[in-house]
A and B are shown apart, each in its own frame.
Chain A
Amino acid sequence: MPQNSYTSISKGREERVPAITSPELDRSVERDLAGLSRPIAASEPQTKPAATAKASIAGIFAAAVATLALLGAVNYAVDPYQQYRDATFYPARYWRPFQRYITPGLAKRPDYAVAIVGSSMLETLSNKEASLLLGGTARNLCLSGSTAFETGLVLDLALQHAPIRRAMIDLNVNSFAGAINHRAVRDPLPQYLWDDSRLNDPRYLLSFDTALRSLDILIGRRGGPEYSTDTDSPWAWTNRSAFSGKHVVDGLDPTDINHKFRQGPRTIDEMMANFDANLLTRIQAHPKVQFDLVHPPYSILAWTDFQQRKQVDVTLEFKHRVYQRVKSLPNVTVHDFQSAAVIDDLNQYTDIYHYGRGVGSWMLKGMRDGSFRVTDTNLESLLAAQREKASQADPRKIIAAYR
Chain B
Amino acid sequence: MLFNSYIFIFAFLPVTLLVFFLLGHAGRLQVASAWLVLMSLVFYGWWNPVYLGLIGASMVFNYQVGVALGRRTGGSAPAQRLLALGVGADLLLLAYYKYANFFVDNWNALGGAPIGLGEIVLPLGISFFTFTQIAYLVDAYRCEAREYNPLHYALFVTYFPHLIAGPILHHSEMMPQFDKSSIYRFNVEHFTAGCVYFLMGLFKKVVIADSISAFASPVFGAAAAGGTLSAADAWGGALAYTFQLYFDFSGYSDMAVGLAMMMGVRLPLNFNSPYKATNISDFWRRWHMTLSRFLRDYLYIALGGNRRGAGRRYVNLFLTMLLGGLWHGAGWTFVIWGLMNGIGIVLVRLTPWQMPLLAARAVTFTSATILWVWFRAVSVPDAWRMTGTMLGRDGFTALLPLPEKPMLLVMTGALLFAWLVPNSQKLLERSLWTPLWRVALGVLLALSIASFEHASEFLYFNF
Contacts of B293 in A (CB 8 A): 20, 36, 39-40
The residue on A at minimum CB distance from B197 is A43
Contacts of A49 in B (CB 8 A): 189
The residue on B at minimum CB distance from A52 is B433
Contacts of A225 in B (CB 8 A): none
Question: Total interface residues on B, using CB and 8 Å?
Answer: 75
Q: Which of A1-42 contact B (CB under 8 A)?
A: 1, 9-12, 17-18, 20-23, 25, 29, 32-42
Q: Does B402 contact A (CB under 8 A)?
A: no
Known: A20-B297, A62-B442. A42 touches B269 (CB 8 A): yes
Q: Does B401 contact A (CB under 8 A)?
A: no
Q: Of the candidates A9, A32, A53, A71, which one forms a contact with B305 in the assembled complex, judged by CB atoms under 8 Å apart?
A: A32
Known: A43-B257, A59-B439. A53 touches B189 (CB 8 A): yes
Given the complex of chains A and B, what is the CA–CA distance between A355 and B195 in angstroms? 57
Contacts of B454 in A (CB 8 A): 207, 209
The residue on A at minimum CB distance from B341 is A35
Given the complex of chains A and B, what is the CA–CA distance between A310 and B341 in angstroms? 54
Question: Are B449 and A68 neighbours in the complex by a CB distance under 8 Å?
Answer: yes
Q: Does A64 contact B (CB under 8 A)?
A: yes
Known: A29-B306, A50-B189, A57-B191. A71 touches B446 (CB 8 A): yes
Question: Are A40 and B442 neighbours in the complex by a CB distance under 8 Å?
Answer: no
Q: Of the candidates A9, A20, A21, A22, which one forms a contact with B269 in the assembled complex, judged by CB atoms under 8 Å apart?
A: A9
Known: A20-B172, A22-B142, A43-B425. A64 touches B433 (CB 8 A): no
Q: Which of A191-218 contact B (CB under 8 A)?
A: 202-204, 206-211
Question: Are A37 and B442 neighbours in the complex by a CB distance under 8 Å?
Answer: no
Q: Does A330 contact B (CB under 8 A)?
A: no
Given the complex of chains A and B, what is the CA–CA distance between A55 and B433 in angstroms? 9
Of the candidates A11, A53, A203, A211, the one having the most CB atoms from chain B within 10 angstroms of its own CB is A53
Chain A min CB distance to B453 (Å): 4
Contacts of A54 in B (CB 8 A): 188, 192
Q: Which of B332-385 contact A (CB under 8 A)?
A: 341, 345-346, 348-349
The residue on A at minimum CB distance from B314 is A34
Q: Does B403 contact A (CB under 8 A)?
A: no
Q: Of the candidates A9, A23, A64, which one forms a contact with B446 in the assembled complex, judged by CB atoms under 8 Å apart?
A: A64
Contacts of B320 in A (CB 8 A): 36
Q: Does B29 contact A (CB under 8 A)?
A: no
Q: Does B438 contact A (CB under 8 A)?
A: yes
Contacts of B251 in A (CB 8 A): none
Chain A min CB distance to B344 (Å): 8
Known: A29-B305, A209-B453. A36 touches B446 (CB 8 A): no
Question: Are B442 and A61 neighbours in the complex by a CB distance under 8 Å?
Answer: yes
Q: Which of B282-298 contact A (CB under 8 A)?
A: 282-285, 289-290, 292-293, 295-297
Contacts of A23 in B (CB 8 A): 142, 144
Chain A min CB distance to B9 (Å): 11
Known: A46-B429, A63-B439. A34 touches B349 (CB 8 A): yes
Question: Are A66 and B442 neighbours in the complex by a CB distance under 8 Å?
Answer: yes
Given the complex of chains A and B, what is the CA–CA distance between A250 and B346 in angstroms? 58
Question: Are A63 and B442 neighbours in the complex by a CB distance under 8 Å?
Answer: yes
Question: Are A34 and B445 neighbours in the complex by a CB distance under 8 Å?
Answer: no
Known: A20-B170, A57-B188, A59-B438. A45 touches B446 (CB 8 A): no
Question: Are A203 and B144 neighbours in the complex by a CB distance under 8 Å?
Answer: no
Contacts of A10 in B (CB 8 A): 269, 425, 428-429
Given the complex of chains A and B, what is the CA–CA distance between A209 and B214 in angstroms? 14
Known: A53-B192, A60-B445. A43 touches B345 (CB 8 A): no
Chain B min CB distance to A370 (Å): 46
Contacts of A63 in B (CB 8 A): 438-443, 445-446
Query: Contact residues of B with A, CB < 8 Å?
Result: 6, 139, 142, 144, 170, 172-173, 188-197, 199, 257, 261, 264, 266-269, 272, 280-285, 289-290, 292-293, 295-297, 300-301, 305-307, 313, 317, 320-321, 341, 345-346, 348-349, 425-426, 428-429, 432-433, 435, 438-443, 445-447, 449-454
Instruction: List, sorted by A's number, 27 A–B pairs whose CB atoms are closer than 8 Å.
Output: A10-B428, A12-B426, A25-B305, A32-B313, A33-B306, A34-B348, A36-B295, A40-B268, A45-B189, A45-B190, A45-B193, A45-B194, A45-B264, A47-B190, A48-B189, A53-B193, A59-B439, A62-B442, A64-B449, A65-B442, A67-B443, A68-B446, A202-B6, A207-B451, A207-B454, A210-B453, A211-B450
Query: Contact residues of A with B, CB < 8 Å?
Result: 1, 9-12, 17-18, 20-23, 25, 29, 32-50, 52-57, 59-68, 71, 190, 202-204, 206-211
A10-B429, A60-B438 given. 7 additional CB < 8 A pairs? A1-B144, A21-B296, A34-B346, A35-B280, A35-B282, A53-B193, A64-B449
